[in-house]
């Protein structure tokens, strides 16, 4: 009976392999933030700026995820809650700034958009491949997976927007993709916040001995 005490417990990140992967993914995300924020301003692309901010948020929140690994469920769920709220704030900022630029936006430079989005897609696909075996876990682990998945989806959308901007010679595809990314941020933040609140409630209602799942 004691051997089954951990059945159903989600992976909590307590693994040296997972921690190494997180360090690699943090480095990838921060590097791409520096590349994309510069390219976004040069290309006047709202979609690239939105994606750059997501890279910055991810590198910060992944560092938080790394710090709370092995800590109490309350601390880990609080960290996930913080990440969910941060993601929702980014989504609101992207939404508001994109709506503002509907009236003042020049057409972005499609070749810079496309080339940087392709580089970002390669970086994010690498992150996704590194993290895919850890896509199911507690709210802290799952938030890392959702953020990386969102980045890959966003990069594909930016590539499509760059092609559409080149074809139409208008900023509308870029702005539409930024709005799509804002909705994706808000949707993922809702999932992260909901799971973290559920875990906090369950931990307070029925405290159980720490039971780590190692991979």
Residue-level length of the chain: 215
Q: What is the CATH number of domain 13-199?
A: 1.20.1510.10
Q: pLDDT digits over 90-128, tens only?
A: 888 778 777 766 666 566 777 887 888 888 889 988 988
Place of tokens 């006047």: 44
The pLDDT value recorded for residue 6 is 41
The pLDDT value recorded for residue 39 is 87
The pLDDT value recorded for residue 206 is 64
CA nearest neighbour of 148 among 35, 64, 57 = 57
Per-residue pLDDT of the chain (215 residues; tens, 9 = 90+): 333 434 455 666 667 788 888 899 999 999 999 998 888 888 777 778 877 887 887 888 788 878 887 777 788 788 878 878 888 888 887 787 777 666 665 667 778 878 888 888 899 889 888 888 877 777 677 777 777 777 787 778 778 888 888 888 777 887 887 888 788 778 878 888 887 888 888 878 765 544 444 44
Q: What is the DSSP string of 111-171?
A: HHHHHHHHHHHHHHHHHHHHHGGGSSSSHHHHHHHHHHHHHHHHHHHHHHHHHHHHHH-SS
Segment holding 18, helix H or strand E: helix 16-43
């Amino acid at each position: 009976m004691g051997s089954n005490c951990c059945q159903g417990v989600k992976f909590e990140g307590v693994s040296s392999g997972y921690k190494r992967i997180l360090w690699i993914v943090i480095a990838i995300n921060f590097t791409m933030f520096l590349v994309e924020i510069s390219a976004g301003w040069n290309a006047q692309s709202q979609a690239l700026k939105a994606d750059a901010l997501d890279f910055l948020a991810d590198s910060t929140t992944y560092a938080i995820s790394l710090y709370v690994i092995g800590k109490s469920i309350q601390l880990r769920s609080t960290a996930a809650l913080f990440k969910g709220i941060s993601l929702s704030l980014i989504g609101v900022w992207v939404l508001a700034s994109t709506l503002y630029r509907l009236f003042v936006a020049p057409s972005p430079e499609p070749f810079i958009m496309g080339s940087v989005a392709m580089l970002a897609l390669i970086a994010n696909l690498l992150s996704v491949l590194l993290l895919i075996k850890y896509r199911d876990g507690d709210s802290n682990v799952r938030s890392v997976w959702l953020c990386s998945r969102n980045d890959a989806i966003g990069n594909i959308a930016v590539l499509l927007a760059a092609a559409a901007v080149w074809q139409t010679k208008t900023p509308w595809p870029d702005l539409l993709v930024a709005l799509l990314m804002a909705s994706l941020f808000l949707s993922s933040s809702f999932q992260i916040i909901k799971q973290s609140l559920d875990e906090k409630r369950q931990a307070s209602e029925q405290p159980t001995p720490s039971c780590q799942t190692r991979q």
